[in-house]
Structure formats: C-alpha cells, structure tokens
Amino acid sequence: MENFITRRLILNNDTFVNQMKKLLFILGCLFFIDPGLFAQETASNGIFFRAAFNQQASEGKSYTVDCSNYGDFKSSSGWKDGKYYMLINEVLPGTIVKIQRQSTERVIYAKVLGPLVPAKENEGLMLRMSAASLAALGIRDNNEHILLTWNK
C-alpha cells in the first residue's frame, strides 16, 4: 500500500511539473506575438460600432478622406471591448467613422468624441485616435495611410 501511495504522489508531482512547464511556455510565447494581431483578436475585430455606422450610412451623405497625419491618445477603452474613439475637427461628436488601413485593408469603427483641441501638440494633425485603435489596425508608427469614411 505504501508503494502505491508513494508512486501515486510521484506521478502527480511529475504531471504537475509538466503542466506548469507547458503553462510557462505558453505565457512566454505571448510576449512575442504582434500586439496588433493580439488586440484585433481580443477586441471583437473592431466592429462594436459597425451597426451604428450602417444606420448612419442610410441617413445621410457619405464622406471619404485619405489621412496620413494623425496622432494617438491613451485610453483604457478598446483593448478588450472593441470600443474605439477619436478626436477630429469638422465631424460631429457621436458620429461613427470607419477607419481602414490601406496597406492591409483592416477595418475598425470609432466614435467621434469631439474636435481636436487647439494646442501645439495637435498642430498639423487631422485627428487623434485611441492607442487601442492603432493596435487593432496593426499600425506601429503614425505614418501609414488610413482611409476615413463617415456620414453626415
């Protein structure tokens, strides 16, 4: 009986150690994954505001603008819930904007919070969007061309 218990404890201990090794390997691999890919998977593919965008599309005229001069701002929203936000002049707050990265055709939908505040750090920028939205689009530096579409 004693041999059975000893053997059982050793077997369980080995199983536990192997499971912990696998867990540590998986966690280690997560640090090497492209954050843009990870954000896109965890953020419902950026489509949280898509239904609202489609509703606005049926109500008014559509505008499309190519943009390469934008900045970002920090926000806790969007990383897990897929709710992206932006600041842009001449677009009404509450409007949903479709943002498409032209090189990969990734698409997210962002809600306009308001205009850009006139400040030195905003000079020359057309818009600012949340850092989570840039990650979802897979943009690491702010010189990629994006296509903005919204409805008035």
54-92 confidence digits (pLDDT tens): 999 988 899 999 999 999 999 888 888 889 999 999 999
Distance CA 109, CA 70 (A): 16
What is the per-residue pLDDT for 142? 81
Confirm if 129 and 54 have CB atoms less than 8 A apart: no
Strands 107-114 and 96-101: antiparallel
The one-character DSSP state at 38 is H
pTM of whole model > 0.75?
no
Task: Round the average pLDDT of the chain to a whole number and report it.
Answer: 82
Strands 127-130 and 107-114: unpaired
- Examine the pLDDT at 134 and tell me if it is beyond 90: yes
Please give the backbone phi and psi of residue 132, each rounded to the nearest 5 degrees, phi first: -65, -35
